[in-house]
Structure 1
Amino acid sequence: MSTLESRVHETRHPQTRVEVLRGLRAALPIMIGFVPFALVLGAQASQKGLSFVEVPLMTGLNFGGGSELAAIELWTSPPHVLLIAAITFLINSRHLLMGAALAPLIQHLPKRQALPALFFMCDESWAMALADARKRKALDARHAFSLPYYLGVSAGLYLTWVIFTTIGAAVGPMIGNVQTYGFDMAFPAVFLVLLKGMWKDVRTARPWLVSLVVAGLTYLTVPGAWYVAAGALSGVLSAFLLADNK
């Protein structure tokens, strides 16, 4: 390695570490919010018959809290695998839209970095990455998307989720029905915090309202998890139409 290359490496490495730590610090409140929800999911999974090994395999390979909770709610013995797979696909279909929104920000990355980054994408890391990219763009950063920051966020959220769902599976049989303690409110609370961070003004939030109303009406009138797809698609469509009308 040449002297110039050594200096570049020494310059980049501390900066990468700083960005990773910045991501971890930013994700800390969300990580804390994950804990009770992860414990609830792990406990419910163990009460449905999943083993101490199967729970972290599910949460680690899928990494989608909404679909995992739905899968556990539908779990029977023996499980209806096709039904669970279909509901999981339906609920996680929102990641198609999330990935499309993230794609312009990561197009400069090689596939060996972009694909693993997309694997660790969840609602919270996606929202935080977009918010951070918006701030970096305003500061005229070379690339709006900071991969080390995103990896710091994702690592914190992923490890918290897998570790505490596993702990929930271990202690679940001892504490009974954890929903009676109100821990299941952690997930909505996390989303409210994320929405607050992404808020600009009432005009730009109109698609949120459309999505909320459509999802709520679908939830009340259509059985199953169709409200997820209905809310996502109506939000995207309204954003497109309202943008054209400006």
Structure 2
Amino acid sequence: MSNVGIRREAMTEGKPGGSLPGTGSRAELRRGLRASLPVMIGFVPFALVLGAQASAKGFGAIEVPILTGLNFGGGSEFAAIGLWTSPPHLLLIAGVTMLVNCRHLLMGAALAPYLRHLPRRRVLPALFFMCDESWAMGLADARRRADAGRPQPFSLAYYIGVSIGLYATWVVFTALGALLGPVLGDITRYGFDMAFPAVFLVLLRGMWKGMRAAMPWAVSLVAAVAACLLLPGAWYVPAGAVAGVLAACAWVRP
């Protein structure tokens, strides 16, 4: 980026309310869209898998994008579809969805120090589009900019650019999966379901801070796998969540 571009962006960031309409914001929006392209490609296979699984459970091509558009959280949507029966156990599905999505509380808390300079009327609508990937990319970008000495490191326009690309890809391709599901059959036999853990591992690598910080993740993984193998139903969700929180409390530095 040229010196002129840097000065223009700094002037935009310095205004009250953070990123405002202008050249700097448009450039940041495009930067977020470009950065999200590899993740968007990774979204496509497991969005198709979710749409096909929902179609097999009786969801239509209109109902699937409503589900994925209103609850933009891939893990909880897979859990809800996996637990769906006829008639559905709504309290069970709602409880598991809440447990899976409660990680957003910690994700939001991690972003909070970077959002204090922004008005709530902008932050709250933007956080509706927060998923694991947009959160990780927004936080990593804010940390890089903080290390570079930016006075307001979190770029709301960059985060929105990332979120727009990921949200649109998810909703469109889950709907496409619902349409193609009856034609393609079980598309997990093509290995599409591996896209979700692959994308997640790449993001995790970018946020790696050493073994000590990763220990709660490892404990949560072991607990969830053990519960999945030994207990019926979706008990691996609360088991992994509780084990991870307890491990984080045990390993936290004074």
Q: TM-score, normalised by structure 1?
A: 0.89
Shift of residue 25, structure 1, vs aligned partner: 1.2
Q: Which runs of 5+ in 2 are unaligned?
A: 1-10
For 1:34, give the aligned amino acid. F
Which residue does the alignment assign to 1:4? Answer: none
Counterpart check, 1:120 vs 2:124: no
Contact residue 94 and residue 229 of structure 1 kept, 8 A: no
1:152 to 135, 144, 161: 161
1:56 to 65, 72, 87: 65
1:160-213 C-alpha deviation (Å, 9 max, x unpaired): 000000111111111111111111111111111111111133333333323322
Cα 1:53–1:221 change in 2 (3 A) is same
Contact residue 93 and residue 229 of structure 1 kept, 8 A: no
Shift of residue 43, structure 1, vs aligned partner: 1.2
Which residue does the alignment assign to 1:142? Answer: 151
1:13-45 C-alpha deviation (Å, 9 max, x unpaired): 111111111111111111101001001111111
1:135-177 C-alpha deviation (Å, 9 max, x unpaired): 0110011112110111011111000000000111111111111
Counterpart check, 1:88 vs 2:78: no
Contact residue 210 and residue 238 of structure 1 kept, 8 A: yes
For 2:32, give the aligned amino acid. G
The 3-state SS of whatever aligns with 1:167 is helix
Counterpart check, 1:43 vs 2:52: yes
The separation in 1 between residues aligned to 2:228 and 2:67, in whole angstroms, is: 26
2:197 to 185, 188, 206: 188
Which residue does the alignment assign to 1:79? Answer: 88
For 1:38, give the aligned amino acid. A
The separation in 1 between residues aligned to 2:183 and 2:167, in whole angstroms, is: 25
Cα 1:229–1:159 change in 2 (3 A) is same
Which residue does the alignment assign to 1:13? Answer: 22
For 2:99, give the aligned amino acid. L
CA-based RMSD of the aligned residues comes to: 2.1
Q: Which runs of 5+ in 1 are unaligned?
A: 1-6
Identity of aligned residues (%): 65
Shift of residue 226, structure 1, vs aligned partner: 3.8
Point out 4+ residue stretches in structure 1 off by more than 4 angstroms.
Answer: none
Cα 1:230–1:143 change in 2 (3 A) is farther
1:220 to 217, 229, 246: 229
Cα 1:110–1:138 change in 2 (3 A) is same
* Matched pairs, number: 238
1:97-117 C-alpha deviation (Å, 9 max, x unpaired): 111212222122111111112
Q: TM-score, normalised by structure 2?
A: 0.86
Contact residue 44 and residue 72 of structure 1 kept, 8 A: yes
Which residue does the alignment assign to 1:32? Answer: 41
Shift of residue 82, structure 1, vs aligned partner: 1.9
Contact residue 218 and residue 226 of structure 1 kept, 8 A: yes
Contact residue 96 and residue 237 of structure 2 kept, 8 A: no
Shift of residue 54, structure 1, vs aligned partner: 0.5
- Range with greater deviation from structure 2 (60-69 or 207-216): 207-216
